[in-house]
Amino acid sequence: MDDYSAANFPPSVRYLNVPADCAGLRIDQALARLMPEHSRNRLQSWLRDGLILVDGGGADPKRKVWGGEALSVSEPRAGEHSEALPENIPIDIVFEDDALLVINKAVGLVVHPGSGNWTGTLLNALLHHDGTLASVPRAGIVHRLDKDTSGLLVVARSLQAQTELVRQLQARSVKRHYVALVLGDLAGAGTVNEPIGRHPTQRTRMAVVPAGKPAVTHFEVRKRFGHSTLVECRLETGRTHQIRVHMAHIGHPLVGDETYGRRRAAEARLCAFPRQALHAYRLGFMHPVTRRECMWEVPMAHDMDDLLCGLEAA
């Protein structure tokens, strides 16, 4: 999740000495103690990129230290010269304090600039809302939702908060609950534990592939509509398009999902729904500063709520 490139931003150099109580640790473990505001993955990446020197030379992340080594860390100034510009884009802020923002993302809002979407993103909106986020990688964005998925995501307002939240995601302790409308009459609750990776021939898609990364989705039925089923999904992992891929894999693709839908809906109103019917309605984690357990919920997005009301009335 630490994907900003050291080549993009001029570094500031920080000098450290390895203390005696780090003797016998790998260099990345010692660095994690000395620089706790950074994740281990980020520090390992900097080591591989040659941004961290040990006694004037490069070092493998698995190298051990014995105390007294001189370290120089060329720490990238994240975002300081980013091409992303602040834009006055409305965002629905559910919660805000000095450490984080919890956002209810609207349908159609891209989270991070990329190919074909260099402006008009949540990142641009965040830079307008709080200019200090330019000093945090990805303007504090910790995890993403697809453009056409609505609901909750968290943004960190400091490097320390971002690193702690990333660690919680890696430890699978962040609680992420979604509601999805899937095609067909789903039999009941279950778990999909299938690895997800890039599709072997269609590179814009993800797929269940043996060499993919571990991915676990728990689901249970909320309501049945005959030709479709409202389900609640709980993520253990956060792979790209995870719910969409996993539900399609078990034969129940999301209503409106043109990428992973493998059959047409039997009802006209389901065929007409213009996006994947997926909403992140609940988000919970330990606050990175207060260490208190926090939980937020938001109502269903209007278009999905209207669809469900129509199905209930039919």
- For residue range 186-245, what is the model confidence (pLDDT) as tens digits? 999 999 999 999 999 988 899 999 999 999 999 999 999 999 999 999 999 999 999 999
pLDDT of residue 10 exceeding 60, the answer is no
Alpha helices (H) in the chain, listed in sequence order:
27-34, 40-48, 122-129, 159-170, 242-249, 268-272, 302-313
Q: Which amino acid is at 210?
A: P
What is the predicted pLDDT for the residue at 78? 54
pLDDT bracket for residue 75 (50, 70, 90): confident
pLDDT at 236: 95
**Is 146 marked active-site?**
yes
Q: Torsions phi, psi of 258, nearest 5?
A: -70, -25
The DSSP element (H or E) to which 193 belongs, if any, is strand 190-193
Assign 264 a pLDDT band (cuts: 50, 70, 90): confident
CB 289 within 8 A of CB 206: no
The CATH number of the structural domain formed by 92-160 is 3.30.70
Q: In this structure, what is the dihedral angle of CA atoms 314, 253, 242, 124, given to the nearest 10 degrees? A: -60
| 129 φ, ψ (degrees, to nearest 5) | -70, -40
| pLDDT class of 306 with cuts at 50, 70, 90 | very high
Find the catalytic residue in 146, 185, 257, 305: 146
Beta bridge partners of 254: 182
| Sign of the C-alpha dihedral computed for residues 154, 158, 161 and 162 taken in this order | positive
This prediction's pTM? 0.79
Least confident interval from 8-22, 244-258, 285-299: 8-22
Identify which of 122, 146, 109 has the alpha carbon closest to the alpha carbon of residue 243.
Answer: 146
Where do you find CATH 3.30.70 in the chain? 92-160
φ, ψ dihedrals at 302, nearest 5° = -60, -40
pLDDT at 3: 32
Residues of the chain with CATH 3.10.290.10: 6-76
CA angle 7, 114, 144 (to 5 degrees): 100
The mean pLDDT of the chain is 89
pLDDT band at 80 (very low <50, low <70, confident <90, very high): very low
Pairing state between β 293-297 and 278-286:
antiparallel
Of 104, 116, 92, 146, nearest in space to 256 by CA: 146
Domain 175-313 carries which CATH code?
3.30.2350.10
Map tokens 């995501």 to a residue.
153
Count the residues in the chain. 314
Q: Quote the CA–CA distance of 295 and 276 in Å, as a whole number.
A: 25
Is residue 290 pLDDT above 50, yes or no? yes
Instruction: Answer yes or no: is pLDDT of 7 > 80.
Output: no
| Residue-level pLDDT at 289 | 95
Asked if residue 45 has pLDDT above 50, the reply is yes
Residue 82: band (very low, low, confident or very high) from pLDDT cuts 50, 70, 90: low
CATH 3.30.2350.10 domain range(s) in the chain: 175-313
pLDDT band at 6 (very low <50, low <70, confident <90, very high): very low
Name the strand (E) or helix (H) holding 223.
strand 216-224
What mean pLDDT do residues 177-191 have?
A: 96
Least-confidence region, from 150-159, 163-172, 189-198, 237-246: 163-172
6-76 to CATH, choices 3.40.50.2000, 3.50.50.100, 1.10.10.10, 3.10.290.10? 3.10.290.10
Q: With contact defined as beta carbons under 8 Å apart, do 187 and 146 qualify?
A: no
